[in-house]
Every structure is written in C-alpha cells, then in structure tokens.
Structure 1
Amino acid sequence: MAVEAEKSGSDGKPWSLCKMPFWQGRNGSSSSSSLTSMQNSHSNVHHHHHQNQSHHHQSVERMSLHSSNTVSSVAKSFLPTRRRLRLDPPTKLFFPYEPGKQVRSAIGIKNSCKSLVAFKFQTTAPKSCYMRPPGGILAPGESIIATVFKFVEPPESNEKPLDQKSRVKFKIMSLKVKGEMDYVPELFDEQKDQVAVEQILRVVFLDPERPSPAMEKLKRQLAEAEAALETRKKPPEDTGPRIVGEGLVIDEWKERRERYLARQQVEGVDSV
C-alpha cells in the first residue's frame, strides 16, 4: 500500500502552499530580470513624461509672459501721454480779430516735471506767424508767457468777419534735458525719439470791441509778457564795488596837498 501511494506520486500528492510566486516558471532568474526590465522601462517612461510636462509648463509660462508683455505694451499705447508742460490756455490761441493787421496772442507755459524740460514752437504758416521766444529750457516749476504773432487775412466777400476759420495750427513740443545747457533748436533733431508733442493749438478769433473773459485774460497775459521782456532787457545790477575813472572822484588828501602848495606859492610871492 505504501508502495502504491508512493507510485501515485504527483497524481495523489495533496496541494501545498506555493513557495515561489506563481509567475515564476522553471527559470526564476529569467522572470526576475524580466520584472526588473519592466520596472526600469516604466521608470524611464515616467521620467520622460515628467520631463515633457516640465518643458510644457516652461513653454506655457514663456508664452504667458510674452502674452502679458504684449498686452501691457498695447495697453500703454492707449494710455494718454503724460504731459511735461502745463499750458494756459490749454488747447487754443486767442487772437483779436483785426483784418489786415498783425495781432498778438499769449500762452503760459509751465514745467510740471522734476527735471529740466526744453520746449519748442512750430507753426504751419512760418511766413505769417512767429513766436517769442520760439523755444527755451525751463527748470522744474519755472514758467513763462510766450507771445505769438499772426497776420490776420481779410475776410472773403461771402464770409462774416468773426466766422473766419484759420487753417493755421501751432504745435508745442517738449524734451527732457540733463544738466544745465543753452537752448538750441538742434536738440529736438538730435533726440527725436525722446520728443513729445504736448499740444496742437488751434486759432480762435475774438472781437476786440466786445468785452469777454477770454479777451480780458489775453490782455493781462500780454501785459505780463511785455513786463517780463523789459526785465530781461535790463542789464544786471552790479552789486560789487563801484569803480570810477580818475578825475571823477575828489581825493581828500590830494585836495589838501593842492591847497598847501597854493598857499606856499602865495607866501613866496609876498616875501619877494
């Protein structure tokens, strides 16, 4: 019986717990190496996937930054340019309407920056219009009143006097400058990229015989401009010691000496 049981061997042997994993066959090392290879392959795939995700994120960030910079530049282009000068009046030049005569207007110009600013006038009719001064450099907070001269053309036959519309335009440009320097118009040609157009002024005619706030203000500005011009024309006062040529100052010692010599001559004549 025992011999028969032994002969039944694998057929009659009861099931036992598996001591090795079920995926191992007869060659366990081959299966293990296959598993390691699969794990390495999976790790490489995961690593490449992570790198691709990283490159994708970087590309997205660069695109987002470029997009934000583009949007920012476009937004800035729609923003109004910050003025360097404050003009009074801000958009118009008022002239008294006197056909066939040269008339004057005035405009206040103030530097509203914290740096030196050069300004320059331009006109579409340089033969019949000019400005005084045509340009200059203003310190921070400094202001002047410029005078603008214009010849008024007589009205056409079918046109009312004050309905005449002048096609002449005036433009004021500005430029920031560094350090003290003398004004020359070439500054605006040398630094074209830094030049800003402050305002384009249009001409408005006023009836000189009819009182109006605009006419009163124009008269006041013209008077201030004339006073400032006269002040600039005056030579600077000399605060140093006054030097006077010889013969204009009587020296006390010299006067005493001359009197003494004259007395000596008289006494000498008397003694003879």
Structure 2
Amino acid sequence: MGVVDEEKSEGEEKVWNLCRIPFWQTSSSNGFSSSSSSSMGNHNVYQPQTQSSQLGERSTVTSTNALFSMAKSLFPTQRRLKLDPPNKLYFPYEPGKQVRSAIDIKNTSKSHVAFKFQTTAPKSCYMRPPEGILAPGESLIATVFKFVEPPENNEKPIERKSRVKFKIMSLKVKGEKDYAPELFDEQKDQVSVEQILLVVFLDPERACPALEKLRRQLAEAEAALESRKKPQEDTGPRIVGEGLVIDEWKERRERYLAKQQVEGVGPT
C-alpha cells in the first residue's frame, strides 16, 4: 500500500470515529446547551423545567384574565336605561347666556337602577337632577344647563362646535333605597356607561323638530318639578289652630258627651 493510500485510510478512520460520537456529547447549533448523562446534570436540568412550568401556569392565568377582560369589553353593554334623545343634547344657541337642554331617562330593566351624570365642563354645566334611582318602568326628564361662550375668530354662531361632552352611567341596585354617592364607588365593577352625549346647538329663531321637541320636554320637566314641590295632601284630620280639631270632629264629640249625660240621668 502506498503512502497516499495510508494517509487516505487514516483520514477515513478519523471521519468515521467522529461520526460515532454520541449525540448527547455534541453541541447543537441552535444555542441550547448540551445535556449530560450524570445524575447531577439531570437534576440541574430538571429544576429549571419546574420553575419554567410554574411561570408558565402564572402566565396562562394572566393571559386568561386579559382575554376575559378584552372579551367583556368587546361584547355590547346591556342597556338598563332608554334615553331620548339617545346620544345628543340639543341646546338653543344664545351666546353669553345660560341655556337649557332636556333628556328623558327611562328604566327599561326589571330591577331598580341608579343613574349618574358626568360632564367634561363641570364649571359651566350642571344637571337637575344629577343622579337618582329609578324603579322598573319609571322615567323622568332631566334638565341640563350650559353657559354658551361667545363666538371667536368671526365664527358663524350656528357652525360653532362644542367640545363639551356628557356621560350617563348606570348601576343596578337591590330593592328600593335612597340614592347615595357611595353606590358608584363601592360597586365600580358593576357600573355601566350608558351613553356619551354630544352637544348640538340649534338656531332658536329657526323652527325644527328637534327644537320643538326640546321645548316640549322642558315644559314637562318644569311641570314635574312644580308637582314635586307641592306639599302632599294629608288624609288625616286637619288641625285648626293649636290643639283644636275640625268642626265635624268637634260636633261628634259634643253629641257623644250629650248622649252620655242623658244616659246618666235617666230613670232608675
């Protein structure tokens, strides 16, 4: 055998021996460290896997909660209140004056519902009433007051837009109870945003269905307010002066005393 053949045989044997190296003794090209056949090596590998599984479980729970919150936000909110107008507040445009709008709020659910108004301009706007509780099927007309700023930069009055927004929130309550501001703070997770209301100005000199409806709602709101101010009629006996009853009761008492006297002096 020649020198060339001997060198070729030695090279082939080296290549063959290299190919016979077990897979667990080689280093992979994807960046993972090689494993070891010793018990200590197996223990070192097992521990990170346990920690990884625990982190994975916590990550799964977090992801599930995030998905639940996202899914909840995507589902349409169940409305408890019916609003009229449904998404706008119409105001007559009278610069430099305080103007009024109105909105009809009706409880369409089967339980008592608390509602609450909020606005982005609390210094120039307020509501009457700003909150309350409605029984199932009950409704009321809320009046909204707003100060109209004069136009700037030669803007046309009726084209002037307002950035003020109003928000109506609702909360389901158990049974009849008086409204308390703490209701919405104590049950924040149960509060629903019913609607974001945008401000729309109307020309008070130009008749339109929206303006006519607004005036009608304002008249109904004023009538309801006056009826609430009137004292309730008392069905019991009326007091005339201090310690005296009405004449009818006085006559009854006198007839009763006279009868007692007659029976007392009758024949023995």
Pairwise TM-score range, normalised by the shorter structure: 0.5 to 0.7
SS at match of 1:232: helix
Q: Residue 185 and residue 69 in structure 1: after superposition, are their counterparts in 2 closer, same or farther (change >3 A)?
A: closer
Query: Paired residues, what number?
Result: 190
Aligned with 1:231 (options 218, 227, 232): 227
Q: Residue 238 and residue 99 in structure 1: after superposition, are their counterparts in 2 closer, same or farther (change >3 A)?
A: same
Q: Per-residue displacement from partner, 1:82-119 (whole Å, max 9, x unpaired)? A: 11110000000000000000000000000011011000
8 Å CA contact retained: 1:87, 1:108: yes
Give, in whole Å, the separation in 2 of the partners of 1:247 and 1:68: 73
Structure 1 position 155 matched with structure 2 position 151: yes
Aligned with 2:188 (options 179, 185, 192): 192
Aligned with 1:174 (options 170, 175, 185): 170
The alignment's C-alpha RMSD in Å is: 2.6
Q: Residue 107 and residue 243 in structure 1: after superposition, are their counterparts in 2 closer, same or farther (change >3 A)?
A: same
Tell me the TM-score normalized by structure 2.
0.65
- Aligned residue for 1:80? 76
Give, in whole Å, the separation in 1 of the partners of 2:246 and 2:237: 16
8 Å CA contact retained: 1:120, 1:185: no
Give unpaired runs (5+ residues) of structure 1: 1-65, 258-272
Give, in whole Å, the separation in 1 of the partners of 2:74 and 2:122: 32
Give unpaired runs (5+ residues) of structure 2: 1-60, 259-268
Q: State the structure with more CA Rg.
A: 1
Give, in whole Å, the separation in 2 of the partners of 1:97 and 1:73: 42
Q: Tell me the amino acid that sits aligned with residue 174 of structure 2.
A: K
Q: Residue 73 and residue 159 in structure 1: after superposition, are their counterparts in 2 closer, same or farther (change >3 A)?
A: closer
Q: Per-residue displacement from partner, 1:31-55 (whole Å, max 9, x unpaired)? A: xxxxxxxxxxxxxxxxxxxxxxxxx
Structure 1 position 100 matched with structure 2 position 96: yes
Aligned with 1:112 (options 108, 115, 119): 108
- Aligned residue for 1:215? 211
Structure 1 position 205 matched with structure 2 position 218: no
Give, in whole Å, the separation in 1 of the partners of 2:65 and 2:185: 30
SS at match of 1:184: coil
Q: How does 1:121-140 map to 2 (within 5 A)?
A: 121-140=117-136
SS at match of 2:201: strand
> Following TM superposition, by how much is the alpha carbon of 1:68 offset from its aligned partner in structure 2, in angstroms?
11
Q: Residue 146 and residue 247 in structure 1: after superposition, are their counterparts in 2 closer, same or farther (change >3 A)?
A: closer
Q: Residue 157 and residue 182 in structure 1: after superposition, are their counterparts in 2 closer, same or farther (change >3 A)?
A: same
Give, in whole Å, the separation in 1 of the partners of 2:109 and 2:204: 36
Give, in whole Å, the separation in 2 of the partners of 1:70 and 1:171: 26
8 Å CA contact retained: 1:92, 1:203: yes
> Following TM superposition, by how much is the alpha carbon of 1:244 offset from its aligned partner in structure 2, in angstroms?
2.4
Q: Tell me the amino acid that sits aligned with residue 230 of structure 1.
A: E
> Following TM superposition, by how much is the alpha carbon of 1:74 offset from its aligned partner in structure 2, in angstroms?
5.7
Give, in whole Å, the separation in 2 of the partners of 1:243 and 1:224: 34
Give, in whole Å, the separation in 2 of the partners of 1:102 and 1:81: 34
Q: Per-residue displacement from partner, 1:15-67 (whole Å, max 9, x unpaired)? A: xxxxxxxxxxxxxxxxxxxxxxxxxxxxxxxxxxxxxxxxxxxxxxxxxxx99
8 Å CA contact retained: 1:118, 1:177: yes
- Aligned residue for 2:26? none
Give, in whole Å, the separation in 1 of the partners of 2:133 and 2:70: 32
> Following TM superposition, by how much is the alpha carbon of 1:155 offset from its aligned partner in structure 2, in angstroms?
0.3
Give, in whole Å, the separation in 1 of the partners of 2:73 and 2:201: 35
8 Å CA contact retained: 1:173, 1:197: yes
Q: Residue 131 and residue 73 in structure 1: after superposition, are their counterparts in 2 closer, same or farther (change >3 A)?
A: closer
> Following TM superposition, by how much is the alpha carbon of 1:166 offset from its aligned partner in structure 2, in angstroms?
0.6
8 Å CA contact retained: 2:91, 2:100: yes
Name the % identity: 78
SS at match of 2:196: strand
Give, in whole Å, the separation in 2 of the partners of 1:141 and 1:174: 15
- Aligned residue for 2:240? 244
Q: Per-residue displacement from partner, 1:161-192 (whole Å, max 9, x unpaired)? A: 01111111100000001122111222111111
